Amino acid sequence: MNEIYEAIKTSAIRIRELIEYDDTGYSSSINTTGDTQLKIDIKSDLVIEEEFRKIPSIKEIISEEKENKTSLHDNGIYTIGYDPLDGSSLIDVDLSVGSIFGIYEGGSNGAHLKAAVYVVYGPRVELVIAESDVKMYRLNQKNEFVYMHDIKLKEKGKLNAPGGTQQGWSKSHKKLIDDIFQDGYRLRYSGGMVPDLHQILLKGGGLFSYPGTTDVPKGKLRMIFEVFPFAFVFEQAGGAAINDKNQRILDLVPSHPHDTTPCFFGSKKEIERVMACYE
């Protein structure tokens, strides 16, 4: 697994260069989810694929920027689902973005996840690796990722990150979000899943929600390369992650590589409130 982490670190350093200096204009292509691809989306995807091709233990990759799986090594054991540059449209307004990786073995359902990694490209570049625990690293001036500390969620937090088009929320979801704000939680939502979840993890907890809405009933966030990896991180950090049927996210089975799900990530107490709301 360490050779995979090293490849992700190398990719992160190369992608950080693209973010700072490359063209963030739109390409002429559209990805499977229907997003118009930025040139930087495609370049970041190629960087990661190039680094992963060097690793014999990687059997195949599933990228948000590609329609189908890509086989790398017949004798490999890991499937890596990844979003090379999540929230890339935020680069043009100089907000933080990220890369997300799920490392699976024997399939690409939540239950097959063995580790999760994400990178935040913000004022600093930080990398988080979740296995049995959650460890955070920060890029130094010598382009080394230095271990900073473990990440643990408190039972109850203070931040509320409500995603999705509000006019499309159900009445019960709107009441859940309003009640949480009535209890004094602070609004923290940038539209970038990686920095928004990283903030909740570092600040001890809260709730990130991206529900099903009238415009996207199954939610917007993709299971294999966005939702499963962060569900793994939140559980290993002492929190929880469920869908709108009170099912554990990591028990879900995607119907196709780009399948989405409504999702709630948070500290234990906040997830209990979601469960009561969606009972």
Residue 60 pairs in a beta bridge with 71, 79
Q: Using CB under 6 A, which residues numbered 152 to 171 contact ligand P6P?
A: 163-164
Contact flags string 66-95 toward ligand P6P, x per CB under 6 A: --------------------xx--------
Smallest distance, ligand P6P to C-beta of residue 147, A? 26
Q: Are 276 and 234 in contact (CB under 8 A)?
A: no
**Residue 222 has what DSSP assignment?**
B
Tell me whether residue 81 or residue 163 sits nearer to ligand P6P (CB atom).
Answer: 163
Stretch that binds ligand P6P, among 39-47, 137-145, 186-194, 256-264 (CB under 6 A): 186-194
56 sits near ligand P6P (criterion: CB under 6 A): no
**Is residue 192 within the footprint of ligand P6P (CB under 6 A)?**
yes
For residue 115, the 8-state DSSP code is E
Terminal alpha carbon distance of the chain? 39
206-210 and 159-162 beta bridge pairing: parallel
Q: Which range of residues in 129-137, 179-187, 190-198, 267-275 is near ligand P6P by CB under 6 A?
A: 190-198
Distance CA 57, CA 245 (A): 36
Binding-residue pattern over the window 2 to 41 for ligand P6P, x denoting contact by CB under 6 A: ----------------------------------------
Counting beta carbons within 10 angstroms of the beta carbon of residue 129, is it exposed (0 to 12), middle (13 to 18) or buried (19 or more)?
A: buried
* Residues making contact with ligand P6P (CB under 6 A): 86-87, 163-164, 191-193, 220
